Chain A
């Protein structure tokens, strides 16, 4: 029975999808905790040593974004919506959205201070992986 259980756990682990939060190479020297990444995507943390931080989202229905919101931001879609509605009243905007992981990679490569998220397998050496999670 125990062997079957361990096999099941191993099978689930092997099938886990791995994701990465990526940053522009100019942010190489900084460490980013999960809490800090959350602050950046909620635009509470906007500047890092003089560099403007530019979070970039995938579109709302994207499965990678869904995983990012529930595992890194630890917030439901509804809570994020209510957060940005209140921020609209306060004069703040949500991060920009792009359609594909390819666009995220391109944006993060080109823009100083850009931070996005993709599948770990899509993150190449042109960007800096600052945080990983799996599901």
Chain B
């Protein structure tokens, strides 16, 4: 019941916000009256056809609401989400599901100490690599995400993030992640953790960025023979007006063995125009782990060819075809997503 009250409240706020003088721009959210607060959200729906198994899946994957704002040196971000709200599958694993639980995706407060230091407390996207910074469908180049994004490190951290930034023609950003408690809402984290300590160092010069991350986390649900897991990830991106190339290469290990000897990808996007973007990605991984986002994943090479049409930037219609070297997962994927 509380979910519907919440949705009614959101709609009431939107109606009230619509009456403001500020013109609404799709993809930039609504301003709440004269308050320094904004609301928005996103929607993602996709359809997959596995050409090996002839199975089909349709999902209303994400419906999320965002709220954020700032006052003085403080700012906040809240995101709640229906995950896989509706799923219908045809074939050997046919099913139909309606999942109406709301999850806390992000919830944090930032305190800007000065021009160099920001403290963040709460649940946030782990600032590891580049893919995980804006991981929602509408903001990424393909409907699917590379395995590097979910088998190396926890996608979410619930704790403290100490951020240091230095600008002098180039940018230097440093993150220190500290979690020593349970996840604020672990249901959709790829690893269920109660500890996560990590660091990130990023250097940016004009269009080129390079980043190194490392850390360790403690598994609350034992999926490996050891509970303490270590990881490292090196990532880069080169983003110009005409094209964007990005790549990440990571590894993960515990005390006795390398649990993910390697996982990486290289992706290129060419902007024919701002509306038409062909993309190609090559992924490769060798993994000894399974988690709920990567069941039975071991060793595979994947080639993904895709095309994104953006009638305007916050709206994306995507198509991609995946060719797998090992798994019987060759498939076509189509999606529609929008940020509002």
Name the one of B27, B28, B76, B134 contacting A90, with C-beta atoms under 8 angstroms: B134
Interface string of B103-115 (1 = CB under 8 A from A): 0000000001011
Q: List 11 A-B contacts (CB under 8 A).
A: A35-B167, A44-B165, A46-B112, A78-B274, A82-B313, A85-B27, A86-B134, A86-B139, A88-B339, A89-B134, A90-B77
B28 in contact with A94 (CB, 8 Å): yes
- Chain A: CB-nearest residue to B27: A85
Q: Which residues from chain B contact A36 at a C-beta distance below 8 Å?
A: 167
B27: A residues at CB distance < 8 A:
81, 84-85, 88
Chain B hits for A84, CB < 8 A: 27-28
Q: At the interface, yes or no: A45 with Cβ under 8 Å from chain B?
A: yes
Over the window 134-147 of chain B, the binary record of Cβ atoms lying under 8 Å from chain A Cβ atoms (1 yes, 0 no) is 10100100000000
Query: Contact at B167–A89, with CB atoms within 8 Å?
Result: no
Q: Which residues of A contact B42 (CB under 8 A)?
A: 89
Q: Contact size class for B?
A: 20 to 34
Q: Which residue of A lies closest to B110 (CB)?
A: A91
The interface of chain B, by Cβ under 8 A from chain A, is 27-29, 38, 40, 42, 66, 68, 75-77, 112, 114-115, 133-134, 136, 139, 165, 167, 169, 171, 241, 274, 313-314, 339
Say whether A1 faces chain B, with CB atoms less than 8 Å apart.
no
CB contact under 8 A between A45 and B115, given known A35-B167, A39-B167, A81-B313: yes
Interface flags, A43-66, vs B, CB<8A=1, else 0 = 011111110000000000000000
Distance from A76 Cβ to chain B, minimum over Cβ atoms (Å): 6
| A86 vs B139: C-alpha distance when bound (angstroms) | 7
A33 lies within 8 A of chain B by Cβ: yes
Closest 9 CB pairs of A and B: A91-B68, A78-B274, A91-B77, A85-B27, A47-B115, A35-B169, A82-B313, A39-B167, A81-B313
Q: Flag whether A3 is at the interface (Cβ < 8 A).
A: no
- Quick one: which of A75, A85, A88, A91 has the most chain B CB within 10 A? A91
- Using Cβ atoms and an 8 Å threshold, which residues of chain A touch B134? 86, 89-90
**Chain A: minimal CB distance from B225 (Å):** 37
